[in-house]
Amino acid sequence: MKPRGEREQRKKRNGTNTLIASKQRYYLQRLTEQVFLVRERLSVNGEAGPDDRIVRSFAFREDALKCAAGLNEKQNEPDEHDGHGI
């Protein structure tokens, strides 16, 4: 189940499908039938863009989803160095 307020959208860009979880920094892009990319959203407006960094590629969608979810979870954890994690 998705956290409240989070939506998934599919966009067609340059012949590829992009699965976007809104407000998440890392997202999944289906490049081909057997290639899935985890990308890092870099745009200021929060939209997926062609300049978004490719973090890693996967042959299986489930593995790519786990990777993106793990990266987003880590991104949302408080930083131990700022005093919130202590």
- Which tens digits make up the pLDDT trace of 15-49? 556 565 557 899 999 999 999 999 999 987 878 88
**The pLDDT of residue 62:** 97
What pLDDT, on the 0 to 100 scale, is given for residue 76? 82
Angstrom distance (rounded) from CA 7 to CA 60:
22
Determine if the pTM surpasses 0.75. no
Q: What is the structure's pLDDT at 58? A: 98
Is 59 exposed, middle or buried (CB count within 10 Å of its CB: 0-12, 13-18, 19+)? exposed
